[in-house]
Amino acid sequence: MNDLKTQIASGSWKPGDKLPSVVDLAAQFGVGRSTIREALSALKAMGMLDIRQGGGTYVKADAPEQAQPLDNAEWMSRAESLRHILEVRKVLESGCAALAAKHRSEDHLQRLRDTLEEMGTSLGDEQASEQADVRFHLQIAEAAQNPVLTDLVRSLSEKLHDSMKDTRALWFYAELRSAERLLGEHTGIYEAIANQDEPLAAQRMESHIAKVERVLYEKTNRA
């Protein structure tokens, strides 16, 4: 992924340029096609690429600004803010998931299923996927059927939405995981809630958020 990112940041591929095919990129960098696909997904999550279904992959018009590395002070400040949000989310949302498993109704489950379906159909549209991701977490808080918890999560929704792009980019960066595998984690959380398995729902939510925390910690220590 870093080689692709460097090419974009250096201007080798300019805004609006169409990237070579997956086959050609795999040959150019000497890696497998799956590695290239996952790297492209990660860069798309970072806002650097536009992957068009059946139309190829293009460098986004606003990619130069997004692709430039932050200076150390700016990155550390941004990372610290995100770390604080993740800590709150891990505590709050794992509790929400456990309570959702205990109190969810069929209507709550249907809403979660609808959102998961939307996440699945919007894998090629990062903005739509991001919005569905945020909504999924809010719906879990609603399924907990505790108005205080729901209000707390809603009060964080703006910060949650603002941080979601960074959160998703870090998730994709971790072992170059694909959008499909991210969807799989959300599905696992839903299944634990649907099965009314409170400990598993909490564990899966905590693990989901902790994974991003670990990547953030690793990147911060290397900064």
User: pLDDT (tens digit, 9 = 90+) per residue, 47-70?
Assistant: 778 877 667 888 887 644 444 444
37-41, 130-134, 164-168: range with lowest mean pLDDT: 164-168
Of 161, 159, 171, 154, whose CA–CA distance to 209 is shortest? 171
Q: d(Cα 138, Cα 151) in Å, to the nearest integer?
A: 10
Question: Is the model's pLDDT at 72 over the cut of 70?
Answer: no
Domain count, the chain: 2
Name the residue with tokens 């969807």: 183
Whether residues 192 and 205 share a domain: the answer is yes
Which residue range(s) make up the domain with 36? 2-67
User: What's the token pair of residue 50?
Assistant: 């536009």
Both structure tokens of 125: 């549209």
Q: Are residues 45 and 90 in the same domain?
A: no
Residue 159 pLDDT exceeds 90: no
Contact present, 199 and 98 (Cβ < 8 Å): yes
Q: What is the mean pLDDT of residues 150-165?
A: 75
Q: What is the mean pLDDT of the chain?
A: 80
Q: What is the CATH number of the domain that holds 44?
A: 1.10.10.10
Q: How far apart are CA 180 and CA 42, in angstroms?
A: 12
Distance CA 137, CA 212 (A): 15
Last residue of a domain, one of 67, 86, 109: 67
DSSP 1: -
The pTM of this model reads: 0.67
